[in-house]
Structure 1
Amino acid sequence: MDTKGAIMRIFPEIPEFGEVDFSQYSTPYAAMLMAFLKSGKAGLREFEEFIEENGGTKADVGKFFISVFQYLLIRYRRYGDENVEVPAFKVFLTLKGWLNEHGFENDYRRLLHSFVGYLVDIAGKIAERSDCELGPAYMKTAYLLTIEAEETFGKAYFSELRKKAGEMLAKVYKDCGIEEVLPEKRENGC
């Protein structure tokens, strides 16, 4: 089964999936994935339409996307797989937009609550290995997610995480010679 090929077809904007090991990924949507791959279609919207045309629902699409994200985090946490860092971050941002756009805000909030700490860690590692264009972008996005989590959940953990992410972002800015003030609250769009 060409799971990687199918996932790359769904997420063509994430070419980094080409480096991910999907040999241990298991999904109840395997048959649908292979049918989508054989259809020759590509993209999130096309996948969503394909699922619905074949008897599935938007909830099925959301569950599948979440399962891909969770698999990437398992590879990251359990195996220290650096190849999943960029795809995991990008899939999370895709999920944020997709879930909120399709009425699954509670699922998004659960993901944010459970995984924002990992996203900060991942962004820090990406920033360490990236140039001064990509590194600050990933780290700033992670920092903005911690602000969102702090404002949404109001727990001390998220305040501490925001502080940590802010320190990491400040270091990236300093190392890259960027003079920018860290936002203290959510900016539009994040």
Structure 2
Amino acid sequence: METKKAIMHVFPEIPEFGEVDFSQYSTPYATVLMAFLESGKNGLREFEEFVEENGGTKADVGKFLISIFQYLLIRYRRYGDEKVEVPAFKVFLTLKGWLNENGFENDYRQLLHSFVGYLVDIAGKIAESSDCELGPAYMKTAYLLTVEAEETFGEEYFGELKKKAGEMLAKVYKNCGIDEGLPEKREKGC
């Protein structure tokens, strides 16, 4: 319970973490995570500063963030835990920004290469169970991630994944009565 509370202090913008089972989550950063919780501070920037003030590095923060994302994906893949879908998607987007801003672009590319397929599946499930505001937003973001993956890696798999995500997005648009075509280029900031 304390671990969940501490993680929610690092990610106050992801209230869906309140539904996630962290009983099997294990991290070498447990001590610093608990100390951060006790400090009363909130947010990723505050956590990053706290880690550095206590002898850690940006690389430690990155490893911690990646470990959270990987844990959520394990819960999703191995246990079919639907409660991790929204947090996993949001953590991935946080990772994308954080890793790229802090000089860990290669780590981000590895995550994109390894997990974009899961993100498309997760976005599809979120879109099915969401309203016509959230559903299209998640699916469009997933589609744009496939565009980025195809441009970055050029492998046939990513082209096929982009096509699948495009079909899923078109279906969500149709179901929601949205008259919009598929974006062809990555939008800045996605």
TM over 0.5: yes
CA deviation string 1:83-121 (max 9, x = no partner) = 000000000000000000000000000000000000000
2:185 corresponds to: 185
What one-letter code is carried by the residue in structure 1 that aligns with 2:76?
A: Y
- Secondary structure at the counterpart of residue 13 of structure 2: coil
In 2, Cα distance between equivalents of 1:188 and 1:44 = 22
Question: Is 1:31 aligned to 2:31, yes or no?
Answer: yes
What one-letter code is carried by the residue in structure 2 that aligns with 1:14?
A: I
1:2 corresponds to: 2
In 2, Cα distance between equivalents of 1:99 and 1:47 = 15
Unaligned runs of 5+ in 1: none
Shift of 1:189: 1.8
CA RMSD in angstroms comes to 0.6
1:17 corresponds to: 17
Q: How many residues end up aligned between the 2 structures?
A: 190
**TM score, norm. by length of structure 2:** 0.99
1:34-73 matches, within 5 Å, as 34-73=34-73
CA deviation string 1:106-137 (max 9, x = no partner) = 00000000000000000000000000000000
What one-letter code is carried by the residue in structure 1 that aligns with 2:167?
A: E
Shift of 1:22: 0.1
The percentage of aligned residue pairs carrying the same residue is: 87
What one-letter code is carried by the residue in structure 2 that aligns with 1:51?
A: V
**TM score, norm. by length of structure 1:** 0.99
Shift of 1:140: 0.1
1:120 corresponds to: 120
1:82 corresponds to: 82
Question: Is 1:143 aligned to 2:124, yes or no?
Answer: no
Shift of 1:184: 1.6
CA deviation string 1:30-59 (max 9, x = no partner) = 001100000000000000000000000000
Unaligned runs of 5+ in 2: none
Q: Once superposed, which parts of structure 1, at least 4 consecutive aligned residues long, lie more than 6 Å away?
A: none
2:170 corresponds to: 170
- Secondary structure at the counterpart of residue 150 of structure 1: helix
- Secondary structure at the counterpart of residue 28 of structure 1: coil
